[in-house]
Copies of this chain bind each other. A is one copy, B any other.
Amino acid sequence: MSVATHQLLLALDYGGTKHTAALLVPGEQAWLAHGRVYAPPGADGAWDQAAMLRLARELLAQHPGRLAAIGVSFGGPVDAGRGVVRLSHHVPGWEETPLRDRLQAELVAPVAVDNDANVAALGEWRFGAGQACDSVFYVTVSTGVGGGWVLGGRIWSGADGMAGEIGHNVVRPGGVPCVCGKAGCVEAEACGWGIAAKARRRLDEGQKTKDEGERLLALSGGRADGVTAQMVAQAAAEGDALAQELLYGAAEALGMGIGAALNLMNPQRVVLGGGITKSGERWWQIVRETARAHALPQTRAEIVPAALGDDAPLWGAAALAQSLV
């Protein structure tokens, strides 16, 4: 029966609170099947693994074929060489889990596992905004900042699986205190929590004029501690001078970090994803101009928006699976 000889790729994305599985025919750019499960409060690593396995088996049962390979994105540090999850940033019970070997044993197919930022970079390179590039630096700027490299068509994860951590490079010495213990890191200066923290501090210090902070404070119902990065972006678009200063200062900090990455690695393209990248054209202009000003003129990387949004890790998992067949 010829249908049974169809090759299938399985892509798995273990997120923080939701887990997604999808099936793909090698060479195709659309899902054959797709399913998602949300983790209930109190779920742990064992729950996550059982739920994902059940989801994968349901998809495979509905679509006859030969499972040729499995690619996995995991939301937390991974030892990609050994296919071992170090831990989850979201739930307990994932510590030192040999995820590759377990999936290989359960589903009887070769498996590749990497962390979500690296896998998302591969996804954008293979299916998204980095197509046809030899090298891509992918940076996601949302609540935090993550990054991943694709060099010569392969993920570069570094000696300890840590490559891509632009978020903790200092661009403003003595600047916003960062979760890592330093101050003025790209993450502290440019990501969601950093922008919101800076906005709250400035509002607490008291607004100076009608145009400075008034609009921003109105958006948060008058409570400085309710301000979010999204409100800052909206107030900036509406002409609030304080919000503009904060948002464009954040864009500048990111641009400085990217400029330094261009000098160090000279990638062909930089792909930016995450919620903060929806902050408007002026934000993009400042990121690009600052990166350009900080990079040597001979580095010519384009800086472009991500194309796959939240699906980048799942598409990247498909690309990982594809690389095994």
Decide if A221 is an interface residue (CB 8 Å cutoff): no
Chain B residues within an 8 Å CB radius of A168: 263, 296
Interface bin, chain A = 35 or more
Decide if A198 is an interface residue (CB 8 Å cutoff): no
Q: A151-B151, A158-B299, A180-B296 are in contact. Are A266 and B172 (CB under 8 A)?
A: no
Decide if A42 is an interface residue (CB 8 Å cutoff): no
Q: Determine the distance from Cα of A159 to Cα of B151 in the docked complex, in whole angstroms.
A: 10
Contact indicator A264/B163 (Cβ below 8 Å): yes
Q: A151-B151, A173-B173, A256-B170 are in contact. Are A298 and B267 (CB under 8 A)?
A: no
Chain B residues within an 8 Å CB radius of A301: 159
Contact indicator A298/B263 (Cβ below 8 Å): no
In chain A, residues 235-269, which have Cβ atoms closer than 8 Å to a Cβ of chain B?
256, 259-261, 263-268
Contact indicator B294/A170 (Cβ below 8 Å): yes
Contact indicator B264/A164 (Cβ below 8 Å): yes
Contact indicator B260/A162 (Cβ below 8 Å): no
Q: Determine the distance from Cα of A173 to Cα of B173 in the docked complex, in whole angstroms.
A: 8
Contact indicator A260/B134 (Cβ below 8 Å): no
CB distance from A176 to the nearest CB of B (A): 14
Q: Determine the distance from Cα of A166 to Cα of B163 in the docked complex, in whole angstroms.
A: 16
Contact indicator B134/A159 (Cβ below 8 Å): yes
In chain A, residues 300-321, which have Cβ atoms closer than 8 Å to a Cβ of chain B?
300-301
Contact indicator A169/B265 (Cβ below 8 Å): no
Contact indicator B264/A159 (Cβ below 8 Å): no
Q: Determine the distance from Cα of A176 to Cα of B293 in the docked complex, in whole angstroms.
A: 17
A159-B266, A168-B296 given. 8 additional CB < 8 A pairs? A158-B265, A161-B298, A166-B264, A169-B263, A170-B256, A170-B294, A261-B264, A265-B265
